Each structure stands twice: as structure tokens, then as C-alpha cells.
Amino acid sequence: AYNGRAYALMRQAKWKDAEADLTAALKINPKYANAYANRAACRKRLGDAAGFAQDAAMAKQMGWPNPIN
């Protein structure tokens, strides 16, 4: 549920709110590659280069097949 709401927030460019929902999703399931990929995208847009790199690496390590934009 958090990832879905975060995606809707991302489509509205509400990056900080989406990041918070994705963090909540990852607290529930720390092996959720899609949430890491989405949070990486949020962090990129928020200017958090280190957070972006960390989340992108986690998503890739978990088998996320798509590029993170």
C-alpha cells in the first residue's frame, strides 16, 4: 500500500512525501526491490546523491531489472 501511494505521489512530484511512504514500506519489508528503486528515484530528485546511490545499489542487488531514473 505504501509503495502504491508513493508512486501516486511521485507522479505529482511530491518527492519528500513519496520518500517517507517508501521508507515506511521498507520498514515493513526490507527486501522490497521496487520500493528501493522508487526511493532511489525520489532521492535523486531531492538532490540526495548518496541516498540515491545506496538505494539504487540495493535495488540492483535484489535483482531490480530496470534502470533507475
The pLDDT of residue 68 is above 90: no
Percent of the chain residues topping a pLDDT of 70: 100
DSSP state letters, the chain: -HHHHHHHHHHTT-HHHHHHHHHHHHHH-TT-HHHHHHHHHHHHHTT-HHHHHHHHHHHHHTT--S---
pLDDT tens, 45-67? Answer: 999 999 999 999 999 999 999 88
Determine the pLDDT at residue 48.
98
**pTM (two decimals):** 0.94
Do 40 and 52 form a contact (C-beta atoms < 8 A)? yes
